[in-house]
């Protein structure tokens, strides 16, 4: 596909013209050559030979020149529009057939001329079309740039803290260094591991994942190292372990802090010697894999407490990546909400619901102890349980409503105390204002939302100086 690239201010637009009309060359020389780099072709074959190797900002095609039939020229227009979406495409023809004109327009040409044509006019049209196309290309580039800011290899987030995570991933993706991902439970550590792999040279190789906290040490040892037939009572057949299965690829060990000290020693030997021996086996096997680990614990503190081997810690902590909790990236919550809303709406084959702005505000203030996993589960539940087209604050779980930052701040009492009447007035005014916004400024509607009569609503509005009469 031919696409536009960045253009130097000193460079000129390149224009390809295909036609057998002998009058075109001198006219193009007079009216186009001063402003554009013009190349003329008399046969479709010559045009294609150059076109396949070079990008043209504008292509003028005499559709009567392409083949024996006008239909061949129309087919060429459609082909060029597909293969050169960033080029300005102009159709030239000697036919004034309305059918041909419609078909050319259907091929998404930018302009259509019937011979004889004025190249003075062509120059004006090209200038306008190229300016418009340049603006479109710049807009698409900006849109792509914004999309890239909002996501990276399956990770969602445009916040500054996530930009730093993306940068860290990009820096180490192509190396074989071990990576330690540190972050709270539910913050997306495995997604970061997968992003590291997707951005690196092992993206097409095995990605083997094990959660060390999900199994006792004796079972984790079997899972990691595999076993030979007869190695223990239930070992009816030989089985490779996760380390072997990760050969040429990546082994991701989540919650590595839960490994017992004996298993830590065995893992350290594998990392140092790059060989693995199955349980009950005698033949070491050479292995090549990249290790990525993750934890929500303070491994340095565990090292000082003697619960984690210092030498293993330094071996796995060559490159640390710190993943922020969701409460530290509240700006990403709307993006994540929209992502999960679309995902679970598609999975459940239901229309995508809209989010009331107050819902977003409440969720941005919530502390998210369960991080992204909690947000994903909440969104999935809302998709399934909310009947209407809009998700409202009343649809949110009570524990979120009562533990938002606003609620917490309202209940905090500083050492010097608070003026109770002033605090109550502030909260009262906040509720009245929120109800008026929800009701579109209608005091009757606001009174209904707050379960009070309209006389009281009018009184409160006058008292706090809010709302319109």
Please report, for the domain that includes residue 119, its CATH number: 3.40.50.2300
Find the CATH number of the domain harbouring 380. Answer: 1.10.8.60
157: left (phi over 0), alpha (psi -120 to 50) or beta: left
Residue 444 lies in a domain: yes
| Residue 39 β-bridge partners | 16
Q: Is the pLDDT of residue 277 over 90?
A: yes
What's the pLDDT tens digit per position in 451-469? 899 889 989 988 888 865 4
Contact 392, 362 (CB under 8 A): no
Residue 147: phi and psi, rounded to 5, are -65, -40
Query: In the numeric block, which tokens belong to residue 114?
Result: 């019937």
- Look at the chain and report how many structural domains it folds into: 4
Q: What is the mean pLDDT of residues 105-124?
A: 82
pLDDT category of residue 267 using cuts at 50, 70 and 90? very high
Cβ neighbours of residue 395 under 8 Å, at least 6 residues apart?
359, 382, 385, 386
* Helix 333-348 and helix 357-365, axial crossing angle in degrees, nearest 10: 120
Residue 408 lies in a domain: no
Q: What's the CA gap between 73 and 100, in Å, rounded?
A: 10
Element (H, E) at 267: helix 261-273
Residue 137 lies in a domain: yes
Residue 297 shares a structural domain with residue 343: no
pLDDT category of residue 108 using cuts at 50, 70 and 90? confident
Q: What's the CA gap between 63 and 79, in Å, rounded?
A: 12
Residue 457 lies in a domain: yes
To the question of pTM greater than 0.85 for the whole model, the response is no
Closest to 249 (Cα-Cα) out of 311, 314, 194, 294: 194
Q: Is the pLDDT of residue 144 over 70?
A: no
Residue 315 shares a structural domain with residue 182: yes
pLDDT of residue 225: 94
pLDDT of residue 6: 46
- Percent above pLDDT 70 for the chain: 91
Query: In the numeric block, which tokens belong to residue 456?
Result: 């009281």
Q: What is the mean pLDDT of residues 143-151?
A: 57
Domain boundary among 123, 145, 167: 145
Q: What's the CA gap between 180 and 408, in Å, rounded?
A: 35
pLDDT of residue 242: 96
| Residue 156 β-bridge partners | 151
Query: In the numeric block, which tokens belong to residue 118?
Result: 């004025």
What does pLDDT average to over the chain? 86
Residue 362 shares a structural domain with residue 431: no
Q: What's the CA gap between 154 and 192, in Å, rounded?
A: 9
Regarding predicted confidence, which is higher, 137 or 63?
Answer: 63
Regarding predicted confidence, which is higher, 305 or 216?
Answer: 305
Q: What is the mean pLDDT of residues 311-327?
A: 95
Residue 383 shares a structural domain with residue 235: no
Residue 62: phi and psi, rounded to 5, are -80, 105
Residue 182: phi and psi, rounded to 5, are -110, 130
Q: Is the pLDDT of residue 412 over 70?
A: no
Q: What is the mean pLDDT of residues 190-196?
A: 95
pLDDT category of residue 19 using cuts at 50, 70 and 90? confident
- Percent above pLDDT 90 for the chain: 42
Residue 189 shares a structural domain with residue 293: yes
pLDDT category of residue 9 using cuts at 50, 70 and 90? very low
Residue 442 shares a structural domain with residue 367: no
- Expressed as residue numbers, the domain containing 269 is 155-324
Query: In the numeric block, which tokens belong to residue 304?
Result: 């000082």
Residue 352 shares a structural domain with residue 261: no
Residue 469 lies in a domain: no
Question: Between the ranges 115-124, 304-313, 383-392, where is the mean pLDDT highest?
Answer: 304-313
């Amino acid at each position: 596909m031919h696409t536009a690239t960045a253009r130097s201010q000193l460079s000129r637009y390149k224009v390809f013209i295909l036609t057998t009309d002998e009058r075109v060359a001198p006219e193009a020389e007079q009216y186009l050559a001063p402003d554009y780099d013009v190349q003329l072709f008399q046969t479709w074959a010559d045009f294609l030979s150059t076109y396949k190797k070079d990008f043209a900002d504008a292509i003028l095609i005499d559709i009567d020149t392409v083949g024996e039939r006008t239909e061949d020229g129309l087919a060429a227009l459609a082909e060029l529009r597909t293969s050169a979406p960033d080029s300005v495409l102009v159709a030239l023809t000697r036919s004034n057939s309305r059918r041909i004109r419609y078909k050319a327009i259907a091929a998404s040409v930018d302009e259509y001329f019937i011979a004889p044509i004025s190249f003075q006019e062509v120059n004006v049209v090209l200038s306008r079309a190229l300016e418009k196309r340049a603006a479109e290309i710049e807009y698409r580039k900006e849109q792509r740039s914004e999309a890239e800011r909002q996501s990276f290899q399956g990770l969602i987030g445009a916040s500054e803290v996530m930009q730093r995570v993306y940068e860290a991933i990009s820096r180490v993706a192509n190396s074989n260094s071990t990576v330690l991902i540190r972050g709270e439970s539910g913050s997306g550590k495995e997604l970061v591991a997968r992003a590291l792999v997707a951005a690196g040279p092992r993206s097409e190789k095995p990605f083997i994942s094990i959660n060390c906290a999900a199994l006792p040490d004796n079972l984790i040892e079997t899972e990691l190292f595999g076993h030979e037939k007869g190695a223990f009572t239930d070992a009816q057949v030989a089985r490779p372990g996760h380390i072997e299965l990760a050969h040429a690829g990546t082994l991701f060990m989540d919650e590595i802090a839960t490994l017992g000290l004996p298993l830590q020693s065995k893992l350290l030997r594998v990392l140092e010697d790059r060989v693995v021996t199955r349980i009950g086996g005698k033949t070491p096997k050479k292995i090549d894999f990249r290790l990525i680990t993750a934890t929500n614990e303070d491994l340095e503190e565990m090292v000082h407490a003697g619960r984690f081997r210092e030498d293993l810690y330094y071996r796995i902590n060559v490159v640390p990546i710190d993943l922020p909790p969701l409460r530290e990236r509240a700006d990403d919550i709307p993006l994540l909400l929209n992502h999960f809303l679309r995902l679970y709406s598609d999975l459940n084959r239901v229309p995508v619901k809209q989010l009331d702005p107050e819902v977003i505000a409440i969720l941005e203030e919530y502390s998210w102890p369960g991080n992204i996993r909690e947000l994903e589960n909440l969104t999935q539940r809302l998709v399934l349980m909310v009947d209407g087209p809009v998700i409202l604050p009343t649809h949110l779980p009570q524990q979120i409503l009562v533990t938002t930052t606003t609620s917490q701040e309202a209940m905090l009492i500083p050492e010097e105390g608070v003026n109770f009447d002033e605090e109550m007035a502030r909260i009262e005014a906040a509720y009245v204002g929120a109800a008026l916004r929800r009701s579109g400024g209608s005091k009757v509607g606001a009174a209904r939302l707050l379960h009070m009569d309209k006389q009281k609503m009018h009184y409160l509005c006058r008292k706090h100086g809010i709302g319109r009469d």
